[in-house]
Structure formats: C-alpha cells, structure tokens
Amino acid sequence: MRSSHICTITIIAAFMALAEMPARAQQFDNGLAQPVFSTSNLITHSVWVEVPNLDTDRDGINDRIRVQVRRPAVTESGVRLAVVLVASPYSGGTLPFPRYDIDIPLYVPGKPGHDNYTAPDDPPPPFDPPPPYDGTDPPINTLSSSSYQSYFLPRGFIFAYAQSLGTGHSTGCPTIGGIEESLAMKAVIDWFNGIGSAHDANGAAVTAYWTTGATTMIGVSYDGTLPLAAASTGVEGLKSIVPIAGVSSYYDHRRSYGGIMMSNPTLGTDADTLFDNILTRRYPEVCAYMRDQIVQGMDRLTGDYNAWWHERNYVQYVDQFRAAVLISHGLNDLNTKPRMFARLWDALTTHDVPRKIWLNTGGHGDGANSGSRQVAWRDMLNRFWSHTLYGVDNAALDGPKAAVQRSGSVWADYEDWPVPGATPTTINLVPSADNTIGGLQLASTRMGKPIFEVIVDNSALDATVLAAAAQSPHRLIYKTEPLAAPVHISGIPAVSLRMSFNEPAAIVSAMLVEYRANGTRAIITRGWADPQNRKSLSETFAIQPGTPYEIAFELQPHDYVFPAGSRIGLMLLSTDRLFTLRPPPGAELTLDTTKSTLLLPVVGGAAAFGVAVP
C-alpha cells in the first residue's frame, strides 16, 4: 500500500507539473496579458543598486538604492519577464512634518529687517564630519501586496520596489526632485538591463537575469513623480510610465506666480519640511548640509522661480522621454494640483510622446483605480503595459487620448485634451453696486470712464463663506445670468486684472464658482498670484501703492460642465486661507472693472457661450 501511495503521489506531481507548463510563457488574449503565472511560490529578495558617480551623503562610497523584488518562481527556470518598478520615499516610513507659521506679514523688498522666513522647530542639527555608513544591510522586509501587484504579477509582470535616496535602507540624501533622484532611478533601470552593479544583503554581486529589462514605473504622489524623474534622463529600457497625481514641476507644486502656496492638507510645509518627513535612512545627520542647500535653493522669502526650481521642472525634459506616458490625475486635487498634468500634457503633445490621460473628479490619490471604472482602468493599464513592455500589437495607444469622469459612474472619452473645440473666450466684467454681485457677459464693458471696485483683505474668512455672502467688502463677485444651455469648459481659465494696492505687498486670488439653481454653490477652480512677480516669475518688483498694474495669471486647469439653470461666477479676493499665506487684514485691492477680463476655455467658444448667455 505504501509503494502504491508513493506512485499515486508521483503521478499527481507529474500532472501538476504539466498543468504548470502553460504558465512558463507569457499569454495574451485580445491584447491583454492573462493570469497564467502561479503566485503561490513567489521569489522575494532584496538588492542594493549602486548609483555611478553619485555620493550625496559624502561617505566616499557610491550611493546605493535598495530594491525589493517579487517574481514568479518560473523566472528561476529561464523565463524572463518585464518589471513594474514602484519607487518611493515613503516605504521606509515617515517622520512628522515640521510646519511654518503661515499667519505672517508678506515680504516687502528692500524693507529693513522684514523677513517672512522663520524656520520650523527642530531642523536636523549639523554634523561635521559625518560618520561613515557602516555597510551593514537589514533583513529582507515582507513586501506589502498592493492591488496592482495582486492583479498584474500573475499576468507576467515582476514587481520591484525601490526606496529613493536617503530613505529606508537606501543610502544617500533626498534632494526633493533634484537630478540626483533622477539618476538614482536611472541606475536601477540600467541594472535591470545589465548595466552597472548591485549586491545582495551579504555583499555578493548579483545580476537581474530574471528580467527582459523592459521596465515601466507607476506610483501615486511622490511615487508618481519619480517616474517622471526617471523618464527625464532618457534612460533606455524605461518603456512606459504611469504618473498618478505626480508632480511635473516642483515650483508649481509649492509656488504660484511668485506666491507661497500650501499643499492641502499639510499647511505650512515646503520642500525642506518634506525633506525632514522622508529622511528615514541610517545616520540622517550626514544629510544636514543637503537640507541647508534646499532651504537656500527654494527661497521661501521672495517666491521667485530660480535655477533650483528649474532643475526640478520635469516639463522641460519631455523631449528626452523614451517612455510612453499614461497620466491619471484628480481634477480636484488640492495637493499636487491640476497644473501638474496640464503643463506636462501640453509638453507631451508638443513633442509627440505616445500618451493617454485619465482625469477623475476626485482629489489627491489613485481615483481611476476604484469604483465602477476600476475594471476599465486595469484593462487599459494591462493593454498599455502589454504593448509597451511586450510589444503586443493591441492598439493600446490608438483611439481617444483622454477619458474624463463626469460623475460617479459616467466617463466621457475625447480625442484629446483639452477637449477639441475648446476655445479661449473673453468674458467681460459688469461692475456691481456696493460690493453685491456684478455680471459676466461677452459684450465689452470698456466704454466710458473706468469703474473701480475695492476688496479689503481679511485672511480670517474662508473663500466658501465669501462666495455665499450676498454682500461683503472682502471679495468681488461677478455672475452670468442663469444659463440657457450647459457650458462646458476644458482647459485653463485665466484672468487679466488691472489693479492697484494701498500697501507694498498683497495677494491676488481668483476663483471660478458654480452658483446652482437650488441656491447652493461650489468653488470649481482657483488661482493665485503675487503682484510683485507681475513682470516675471524669476524676479520680484516692488509695488508702488496707488499705481495701477496689469496682473495676469492662470487658474488651475479643469474640465467641467456648468448645467443649464446654474450661473458661472468669478470671485476675486486677496488671501485664500486654504492655499496662501495669511497676512494681517486690511490691505485694499482696487480693481478697474473696465480693463479686467476672465478668459474661459469654452467648448464651442464664444458662439456656445452666447447661446447659454444670450
């Protein structure tokens, strides 16, 4: 009986082996990778990839990026698969955010002793000389299983998790978007392709014999920014990227037309406090010098665009991209705001980079990978990766380039974004009486003498309160008549304002508001500017009180349909307490309504707007 039992086990094992055989090669059906790889015996291991000629922690040793790998067991038998690389500064944990005081006076150039830069409490202390890295490696951590990994790993995609410079068990120092972080990701991708070197926890040299070298990157927020950093190097082997709520320009993330901006919900943070938040490596004190460089480079005093910010503007490097791009972003993201995707998309279009974009109605996060659209999103991603990583001819990049969410379960596909036919349409302001409500119309209001209206700043009042008020000295509101037909805007609204100020420093904020037929209202999008940067993002010019200036700036991009019966509103104010600094109240902003306009990207242009607002 025992020998018979052994024979039975052998036969069963043979059949199981035969059953496993189809899983030894990639399979596609209708252009989609199929779940044919077993995940019951995955191989998990860590490597440390050296970054050539980079020593940000100044220990005399090339910086090393820790990469955790999870792959099907068949990759030990000669099967090579493509890699999904998830790079993050957060996988090693995070530290508390220091916060700046944002209830402060505004910077006035040339004013003696006036400085709005006050460092948060307890920055890392300086250490000189820095202690050397001791070279020991941690035990392999258990990999948390993401929803993407659970779905795609059985379909033949290796998952690799990289800890960015100065975080977790990587060495080096974070640079918050600097070239060093880009080069670190390039080194990892190069190593997948047999370029460079890496070691295991015991110091033994290792190679990536289990991968084809074809790599994609995906992530959310900072994890969605590092794919752009990697693509900016033009590294071969990076076939595609999926930046979700990523930062395409660190200046636009932390500044707006010279103004210091907030990233909700972490008010009072900046590039240096983000550095403090992610610096989780051993011996963090060796990176104190880098923090000092970040503080100097980001220039929180003037808010000017400079070389430090320019290096962190990935839009300028789009002509170097070899990777196809699939963007996912929330139209109501208050953290990495919609300007991130819009300017990136424009550059991708200019340089004809293979691309698609999904815009959801949510805030900061992975809005497409949830709810009723999740199946379609994963099918799109599967098709995209099957094409870019495995060369499957599945029309992944054909057809409409843009998908825009209209409501919870309603999405619309468009040939491009902004939606074709969206045309910048000039809307004129009709002055109000006694700070009540003015009008918006196509017809020019520039006839006759200037008509002035005044805003008195009060940083204690939230914009939602001001939008609801029937009358207030602290904002100006201009509305259309109730719309006779829907108005679809797609693109970037902007304002051109002729203003004077009674003080040498001020904030100018503009908001597009929907006033609904049922009496409720919602702020659709916002924009902010420092009038000291009216001539240039890179240079501050003093304000002479009483002198009128042209202040022109864009609001955050959006794609929105104002329904029939609602009114489109423009609200102008000074401080926007959710997003700007909060100076003492009392500054007066005087608007010349006859020389100020709103520019709306209306689908159908002035003709469509004229039908809705006869």
Count how many Cα atoms sit within 13 Å of the Cα of residue 594 in the half-sphere of its side chain: 7
Give the integer Cα–Cα distance in Å for 348 and 330: 19
Question: Is 507 buried (19+), middle (13-18) or exposed (0-12) by CB count in 10 A?
Answer: buried
- Chain centroid, CA 400 distance in Å: 23
**Coil, strand or helix: which one is 458?**
coil
Give the integer Cα–Cα distance in Å for 24 and 458: 67
Q: State the residue for tokens 């962190």.
A: 312
Please say if 223 is a catalytic residue. no
Q: Which of 191, 259, 284, 257 is nearest to 230 (CA)?
A: 191
Phi, psi of 187 (to 5 degrees): -60, -40
Question: Which of 190, 333, 366, 592 is flagged as catalytic?
Answer: 333
Dig out the tokens for 393 from the structure. Answer: 């001819």
Question: Which of 364, 474, 488, 558 is flagged as catalytic?
Answer: 364
Length of the chain: 614
Beta bridge partners of 220: 244
Cα angle 433-436-441, degrees, rounded to a multiple of 5: 75
Please say if 221 is a catalytic residue. yes
Q: Which residues of 75-89 are buried (b: 16+ CB within 10 A; e: fewer)?
A: beeebbbbbbbbbbb
Helix (H) or strand (E) holding 83: strand 81-88
Q: Which of 489, 511, 487, 479 is nearest to 563 (CA)?
A: 487
Could you give the C-alpha distances from 136 to 46, 139, 178, 197, in angstroms and in order? 13, 10, 27, 17
Please say if 488 is a catalytic residue. no
**Coil, strand or helix: which one is 315?**
helix
Provide the pairing of β-strand 64-71 with 43-50.
antiparallel
Q: Which of 157, 154, 158, 178 is nearest to 166 (CA)?
A: 178
Residue type at 169?
A: H
Give the integer Cα–Cα distance in Å for 84 and 378: 14
Give the integer Cα–Cα distance in Å for 551 and 500: 10
Q: Quick one: three-class SS letters along 230-261?
A: HHCCCCCCEEEEEEECCCCEHHHHHEECCEEC
Beta bridge partners of 69: 45, 160
Radius of gyration, alpha carbons of the chain: 27
Give the integer Cα–Cα distance in Å for 308 and 375: 41
Question: Which of 46, 88, 91, 221 is flagged as catalytic?
Answer: 221
DSSP 8-state code for residue 364: S
**Coil, strand or helix: which one is 223?**
helix
Active site residues: 221, 333, 364
